[in-house]
Amino acid sequence: MKFAVLGAGSWGTALAMQLARNGDTILWGRDQAAMAAMQQTRSNERYLPGIRFPGKLIVEANLEQAISHCEAVLVVCPSHAFGDILKKIKPLLGDRPLAWASKGFEPGTGRFLHEVADEIIGDQVPMALVTGPSFAKDVAMNKPTLVAVASSHKEFAKQVSWALRSDNFRAYISEDVIGAELGGAVKNVLALATGIADGMQLGDNTRAALMTRGMAEMMRLGEALGCKPETLMGLSGLGDLVLTSTGDLSRNRRMGLALGRGESIESAKQTIGQVVEGIGTTDEVMRLAKKHDIDMPITEHVWKVVHGELTTVEALTALMGRDLRPEFD
Ligand SMILES: NC(=O)C1=CN([C@@H]2O[C@H](COP(=O)(O)OP(=O)(O)OC[C@H]3O[C@@H](n4cnc5c(N)ncnc54)[C@H](O)[C@@H]3O)[C@@H](O)[C@H]2O)C=CC1
Ligand SMILES: O=C(CO)COP(=O)(O)O
């Protein structure tokens, strides 16, 4: 199946490279100059410097051309741009199936991306999402990686998973779309939390505690939303939480590290220079937690730090001072 990958940031480029290891794959990005440079160097020097594209990756700066020459579309943009891109491609999509690999919620409404896709595209085409522990750089460098493909259309999930498959890449399929999306979003908030703790040099015990109790928060919210617990314990939840809470390639972790060292969000954003989904996702996870009356103290205290209501030290003191309770309710 020939994909057009829409979004030529680090993850879109890496996924297009992975698909192109198997067959012709189109990579489209909105920045004409950046696409021309990619065409010339056969690499994405801004996001994945020095890593050459496979021969079957086709760089395309024209959106209509990209879609008309593909059999399926994979959208890989920041979550805040997801709805806009879908509206733009809807008239071009025809009966091509649609996948995405963005992680997060629609800002302002807190809707899951599959809800946004359902509203804009409807049941016009099969849909799936790709998620799990996968740093773009490692995938671009062809390091062994496992992801999950979630869809209510099992056949399309299988097609995506086969299109992505290689000696160093395996994609497991799942029918739990909400669980897969929730895991990939909440782990970004928890990567901020563990990053903050590491930036404050609180040590290994603290990181393990935040990851474990953060996981408990994810599971509580997941239960309220009807997710399968095993999805959250799998690649899209725990797997991605471990990766982004411990791996310094994570932009969310690096944002947390900067906040923990006392830097401002704005200055850290400048330094990182790429999308940090966890900042906006914190608002949307809090919105969901309140709506479903779920206790999520780590998320809540990340929210307070991000919104300047507490310093990192005050947040730590407040979390450590909470009432004692059973580990499992
Ligand atoms: N980088 C990674 O390792 C991974 C990223 N993701 C997710 O993939 C999504 C994209 O992230 P990255 O590629 O890493 O971000 P990035 O910061 O590397 O690049 C973002 C790209 O999106 C483009 N973009 C922004 N608004 C757009 C719009 N309205 N229309 C078209 N293009 C637009 C930008 O021009 C830029 O090329 C995020 O949701 C992220 O959480 C998921 C797994 C791994
Ligand atoms: O989702 C990711 C890896 O699975 C990338 O994480 P960051 O967005 O924190 O870099």
Give per-residue pLDDT as tens, 216-253: 999 999 999 999 999 999 999 999 999 999 999 999 99
Question: Whose Cα sits closest to atom 17 in ligand 1?
Answer: 274
Share of the chain above pLDDT 90, in %: 98
Q: What pLDDT, on the 0 to 100 scale, is given for residue 329?
A: 78
Pairing between strand 57-60 and 145-150? unpaired
The neighbouring-strand residues paired with 74 are 5, 99
Positive or negative torsion for Cα 146, 147, 152, 153: negative
pLDDT for residue 262 is more than 90: yes
Cα angle vertex 245, ends 239, 247, to 5°?
A: 90
Q: Which two tokens stand for residue 284?
A: 């949307």
pLDDT for residue 126 is more than 90: yes
Q: What pLDDT, on the 0 to 100 scale, is given for residue 15?
A: 98
- Distance (angstroms) between ligand 1 centre and the Cα of 320 equals 35
Q: What pLDDT, on the 0 to 100 scale, is given for residue 138?
A: 98
- Return phi, psi of residue 152, to 5°: -85, -5
Cβ–Cβ contacts within 10 Å for residue 109, how many? 12
For residue 46, give the amino acid letter.
R
- Distance (angstroms) between ligand 2 centre and the Cα of 155 equals 27
Atom number of ligand 1 nearest to Cα 132:
43
Task: Report which bound ligand comes closest to the CA of 248.
Answer: 2
Please compute the mean of the pLDDT values over residues 308-328 and round it to a whole number. 97
Query: Is the Cβ–Cβ distance between 117 and 100 less than 8 Å?
Result: yes
pLDDT for residue 64 is more than 90: yes
Q: Which two tokens stand for residue 116?
A: 């946004």
Please compute the mean of the pLDDT values over residues 289-301 and round it to a whole number. 97
> How many residues appear in the chain?
329
pLDDT for residue 23 is more than 90: yes
- Distance (angstroms) between ligand 2 centre and the Cα of 82 equals 17
Please compute the mean of the pLDDT values over residues 201-209 and round it to a whole number. 98
Binding residues for NADPH: 10-11, 30, 47, 103, 136, 251, 275, 277
The region that residue 281 occupies, defined by phi over 0 for left and psi between -120 and 50 for alpha, beta otherwise, is alpha
Around ligand 2, the residues with Cβ closer than 6 Å are 103, 133-135, 188, 191, 240, 243-244, 250-252, 277
- Work out the mean pLDDT of the chain and round it to a whole number: 97
The region that residue 108 occupies, defined by phi over 0 for left and psi between -120 and 50 for alpha, beta otherwise, is left
pLDDT in tens, 179-198: 999 999 999 999 999 999 99
**Active site (catalytic) residues:** 187
**pTM (predicted TM-score):** 0.98
Q: What pLDDT, on the 0 to 100 scale, is given for residue 211?
A: 98
Confirm whether the ipTM is greater than 0.85. yes
**Where do we find the tokens 């015990």?**
205
Rounded Cα–Cα distance for residues 57 and 20 (Å) = 5
Q: What pLDDT, on the 0 to 100 scale, is given for residue 123?
A: 86
Q: Which two tokens stand for residue 29?
A: 């990005």
- Return phi, psi of residue 123, to 5°: -100, 25
pLDDT for residue 327 is more than 90: yes
DSSP 8-class letter at 23: S
pLDDT for residue 270 is more than 90: yes
Task: Report which bound ligand comes closest to the CA of 31.
Answer: 1
pLDDT band, residue 124 (cuts 50/70/90): confident
Query: Is the Cβ–Cβ distance between 43 and 50 less than 8 Å?
Result: yes
For residue 123, give the amino acid letter.
D
Around ligand 1, the residues with Cβ closer than 6 Å are 7-12, 29-31, 47, 76-79, 81, 84-85, 101-104, 134-136, 274-275, 277
Query: Is the Cβ–Cβ distance between 43 and 49 less than 8 Å?
Result: yes
Rounded Cα–Cα distance for residues 75 and 7 (Å) = 6
Query: Is the Cβ–Cβ distance between 17 and 140 less than 8 Å?
Result: yes
**Residue among 239, 244, 240, 53 nearest 142 (CA):** 53
Distances, alpha carbon 217 to alpha carbons 147, 220, 227, 237, 329, in Å: 22, 5, 13, 11, 12
